[in-house]
A and B are shown apart, each in its own frame.
Chain A
Amino acid sequence: MSAASLLEWTLKSVVIFLIIVGGFAYTTLFERRVQARMQTRIGPNRAGPWGLLQPVADGIKLIFKEELIPAQADKLLFLLAPVVTVLPALIILAVIPLGPNVQIAGKQYSLGLASNVNVGVLYILAVASIAVYGIVIAGWSSGNKYALMGGLRSSAQMVSYELALGLAVIGPIMFAGSMSIDQIISGQRGLWYVVLQPLGFLIYFIATVAEVNRSPFDMPEAEQELTAGYHVEYSGMKFALFFMAEYGKMIAVSFIGATLFLGGWLGPFVDRFWWLGPIYLVIKVVALLFVMVWLRATLPRFRYDRLMAFGWKILLPLSLFNVLVTAVVFVLVGG
């Protein structure tokens, strides 16, 4: 490995890291402003112009909060849990290309860290499921019954919805004939997969909302029943890490959804001007994030048994059906 490529990879990693961390901060602001408007309020607009410094203020506040470790807690696991939760959210974007390949000084540069690996989708699914460990560990190590209940619910929910999620992404894989994200994107040059796989996209979206524990599937942290669920005993920056994981995963699944179903960085004139690619991608991601915020502003929380029933009795059969129909049509029409 040459020093140049090492530098390139380091730079890309830093950029991906910054996308998630910076995106996390501004997604919270975005959510608060949008949700405020949906409730005919204004939202935070005092810190800086249009409230743009609000995330900074929140961060500073959280840094200065007291870090509390309960006496009943399993100390090592208690400290490990936020790290395990936030790590997948940070590394999941590694396989998502932010734009087309760029020619700089006669050398081709890809705008993704590892977008051409041939197991990209598998990597996404594998990394996404690690986060559940963090949440279960957090629930277990807190030594608090509410936290434990939250952790349990979360693991059950994530396992249930991961199946539908995995089946939903089979559609794009079948159309592209590859698990490489680059090939999935270039397969959407003519037509986005959301047109060919509307049901698949819907299932993907519902399953990811459940996967990142967002309303209306925010069972693990159900404020009214479990006070705050798995992160009830966490404070200060450790709490901020859980928050960061939640919003980081929101951003990550939006990136993945935009890439698998909405054509990624593809858009008009992107072949002529490479810098349009990231812009198109960000527009699609923000649109998906907006829908997530919109859902949270609209829908109440599911009851736990209905959540399970919905996952296993409706979503899973539907996604199986979707895979079956896609496969049959594929064989009949012949790719």
Chain B
Amino acid sequence: MNPLEILRGLWTVFRAMFEKPVTYQYPEIKRPVRQRFKGRHELKRYENGLEKCIGCALCAAACPADAIFVEAAENTDEQRYSPGERYASTYEINMLRCIFCGYCEDACPTEAIVLEHNYELSFTNRREAIYTKEMLIVPVPPNGKPTPQNVPSGEFTRAIPEMQNPD
């Protein structure tokens, strides 16, 4: 224990008082998140407004926290929610269980579920912690129509879209 070294340490700390604080005044100033930040989930749509989710429940199977509950129902051409045979009639994520690992995103065959950048998920009771399909799904894109759509028969038979190579 060298007294001079203690004085040197004290001086370093004292100097730090006059540096600019690194604090962000949070609710007013929000720090932008990284591109791959894993925040609240969103259920995506195709450009024509159809839902990407086909109700396969692979996300629920991949979920280590057992936070996702999916119930599927049959699509018809008059009442079409998503391409292919089935769609998710119920889709719930319990945000109290979710650990934001992103495995659901990896498991999804249609890239329907994506962890986006919203991290402000506060709720005051346990019921509010369960995010339903209506809360998770993104709004209908400008050129699309809301689901269920009435579509000509035989057009949307393929559940899994043609995938491109990721950039």
Q: A-side interface residues toward B, CB under 8 Å?
A: 34, 36-42, 294-295, 297-299, 306, 310
Interface residues of chain A: helix, strand, loop or mixed (majority): helix
How many cross-chain pairs have Cβ atoms below 8 Å apart between A and B?
A: 35
Choose among A36, A297, A310 the residue that contacts B13 (Cβ–Cβ < 8 A): A297
Given contacts A38-B14, A298-B13, list 9 more A-B pairs with CB under 8 A: A34-B17, A38-B17, A39-B16, A42-B21, A294-B13, A294-B14, A297-B13, A299-B6, A310-B1
Task: Chain A residues near B17: list those with CB within 8 A.
Answer: 34, 37-38
Task: Chain B residues near A38: list those with CB within 8 A.
Answer: 13-14, 16-17
Most chain B CB atoms below 10 A, which of A41, A295, A298: A298
Q: Are B9 and A41 touching (Cβ within 8 A)?
A: no
Q: Are A41 and B13 touching (Cβ within 8 A)?
A: no
Q: Are B14 and A41 touching (Cβ within 8 A)?
A: no
Task: Chain A residues near B22: list those with CB within 8 A.
Answer: 40-41
Return the chain A residue nearest B6 by Cβ.
A299
Q: Does B19 contact A (CB under 8 A)?
A: yes
- In angstroms, Cα B25 to Cα A42, docked, is 9
- In angstroms, Cα B69 to Cα A85, docked, is 55
Q: Are A41 and B23 touching (Cβ within 8 A)?
A: yes
- In angstroms, Cα B18 to Cα A39, docked, is 10
Task: Chain B residues near A295: list those with CB within 8 A.
Answer: 10
Q: Are B21 and A298 touching (Cβ within 8 A)?
A: no
- In angstroms, Cα B11 to Cα A298, docked, is 9
Q: Does B126 contact A (CB under 8 A)?
A: no
Chain B 15-46, CB within 8 Å of chain A: the 1/0 string? 01101111101000000000000000000000
Q: Are A299 and B16 touching (Cβ within 8 A)?
A: no
Return the chain B residue nearest A291 by Cβ.
B10
B117 smallest CB distance to A (angstroms): 25
Task: Chain A residues near B21: list those with CB within 8 A.
Answer: 36-37, 40-42
7 contacts between A and B (CB under 8 A): A37-B16, A38-B14, A38-B16, A40-B20, A40-B22, A297-B13, A298-B9
B91 smallest CB distance to A (angstroms): 38
- In angstroms, Cα B14 to Cα A298, docked, is 9
Task: Chain A residues near B10: list those with CB within 8 A.
Answer: 294-295, 298
Task: Chain B residues near A37: list those with CB within 8 A.
Answer: 16-17, 21
Task: Chain B residues near A299: list those with CB within 8 A.
Answer: 6, 9
- In angstroms, Cα B73 to Cα A211, docked, is 72
Q: Are A42 and B13 touching (Cβ within 8 A)?
A: no
- In angstroms, Cα B3 to Cα A310, docked, is 13
- In angstroms, Cα B19 to Cα A37, docked, is 8
